[in-house]
Amino acid sequence: MMWKKKLKEAAVGFALGAVGGFIMGVTEDPVDRTLSAMTSASQLKPLIDNIRTVGALGLGTLMGASALTIAMTSVVAGVIMAAVVASVFVTTRSCGTIQTNYANLWASAGLAGALGTTLSGATLGFFIETIVNNSGMFGLLSALSIFSILKPPLRFVFNVLWKQGEACCTQGSIVWDKERKEFEISDLEQRERVAVQIEERILTINNGRNTSGTKDMMTWATERKLREKLERKKTEVEEAQIKQQTLQDWIKTVMVKYVDFLAFSGIPMTVVAVVSSLFGLFGYGRHHYAFIALIALVAVIGYLILKSSDLKFWMLIGCMGMLATFVIAMLTVQAGDEVNKVAMNLRAEQQNVNAKSINDRMIDHCSREALKTAIIAAKLCQLCLGATVGGPLVRHGGEGGKVILGAAIVALGLLAGVEVLSPVLGNGGKAGALLGVVGTSGVSVGAVAAMTGQCSSWPRTLGAIAGLIIGTLATDKLHIVMIGIQVIVAYIFAMNNAF
């Protein structure tokens, strides 16, 4: 019997892990197809035209910062939407007076978060594509800078609105006050009724009358049952109130953390993008001291962030985003250097090589590499941020299976919707929307990670890990290295207590 129980636990873990792996792998092909469409000759033309303005270094940092901004902002938008829906759900207590249907709460909040993430990603992707096509890299640099400057004031405005919303949502307190008064009235009525019965009993004894002891016992038993029922109901309501208040406090904590994340995390990578773009604008993008200055800037900002005695969530992600932006810029420059090396080898072999053709190939290769690496980095960022939501959700809610299945179903629905609306969204909007879908799949993967971390059963833990890997491989194009990176990083972020 023991081995049957372990086998069942392993099968359940494997099934849930396979669902998380499947939904993570099923997003690979749409993203790859969208990336292929975005790197076609016609779609690359705006980047090719503008790389001469900011240089390969500037193009890499701008593409990286823009893609990561879409990923981070869309996740925060989704979390805020989910927090608002959950807060309203808890405050208005629409699920009932005593028994709160937390399944409906999590389902409503999760759906709102997924839709918010996808819609905001599609909107930002569409705007960035429009800006690049119409205003070039200078327009993108200006938009990115303005957005980064406006986010801290928007944080202040949002916090004020949140407090006002909490003050206006008084329905929950009215319900609690009403129930409290009802309990007080019921308690007072019973006390008065018992007091009257006691007085009647005393009077009958003083008058020397014979009364039925059986009737008195039945009366006292009835009153005792009423008292127990009243006390039990009062305890249930108090426990529900405490639980909902705890949940409301946690929602507020999550919201505050993510609003801070939205306000400040993009500043380091925006600074790197602005500095590298300015080097390119003034014609110094290819000089060695531009690289040295950029490396020094990244090192100084990273040191100042990481040395903080109170390292916050936004600081960590902001530092990682800045490093990712720098890596994308380096890969972009390296792509051009590879073409240059090939041309030098051909010249060494005394082959006739056209200088203009080499320059065109370098620009084309740099543009493709900048866009490709930026999308890949944004996808990984989105997956990890989704895992940071799925992990704590399971640890606080405890319904790992429901979170895994729910996030997977929502992700599939969103993926189908994005495919249907792709002609309207355009390549930029579709890419941003797909990043939102990746974030939703990350919630499922994070839930798998949290479930394995909480589970005390080794068969279920090993089954979940095996299911996650096999489920991903079954749907992906055998990108084993990329899958390994995604799984490991998602696990790290899911198990990290960001709140």
For residues 435 and 463, give the distance between their C-alpha atoms in angstroms, rounded to a whole number: 28
**Mean pLDDT along residues 461-490:** 77
Q: What is the pTM of this model?
A: 0.83
**Mean pLDDT along residues 432-457:** 84
Provide the pLDDT for residue 68: 92
**Mean pLDDT along residues 38-58:** 80
DSSP assignments along 299-329, one per residue: HHHHHHHHT-SS--HHHHHHHHHHHHHHHHH
Most confident option among 192-206, 218-232, 246-260: 246-260
Do the Cβ atoms of 23 and 406 come closer than 8 Å?
no
**Mean pLDDT along residues 351-362:** 68
Do the Cβ atoms of 432 and 381 come closer than 8 Å?
no
- Structural domain boundaries, residue 432: 9-175+239-495
Classify residue 40: in a domain, yes or no. Answer: yes
Q: How confident is the model at residue 217 (pLDDT cuts 50, 70, 90)?
A: low
More confident residue, 463 or 328: 328
For residues 256 and 156, give the distance between their C-alpha atoms in angstroms, rounded to a whole number: 11
Provide the pLDDT for residue 184: 62
Residue 100 clears pLDDT 60, i.e. is over it: no
Provide the pLDDT for residue 363: 80
Provide the pLDDT for residue 99: 47
More confident residue, 485 or 241: 485
Classify residue 187: in a domain, yes or no. Answer: no
**Mean pLDDT along residues 471-487:** 74
Q: How confident is the model at residue 214 (pLDDT cuts 50, 70, 90)?
A: low
Q: How many domains does the chain have?
A: 1
Residue 127 clears pLDDT 80, i.e. is over it: yes
Classify residue 4: in a domain, yes or no. Answer: no
Average pLDDT over the chain reads 79
Provide the pLDDT for residue 87: 79
| Residue percentage of the chain with pLDDT more than 90 | 7
Residue 247 clears pLDDT 80, i.e. is over it: no
Backbone angles phi and psi of 210, in degrees to 5: -90, 125
Provide the pLDDT for residue 155: 85
Residue 423 clears pLDDT 70, i.e. is over it: yes
Residue 199 clears pLDDT 70, i.e. is over it: no
Classify residue 215: in a domain, yes or no. Answer: no
Alpha-carbon distance values, 155 to 140, 148, 335, 378, 427 (Å): 23, 11, 39, 23, 30
Classify residue 380: in a domain, yes or no. Answer: yes
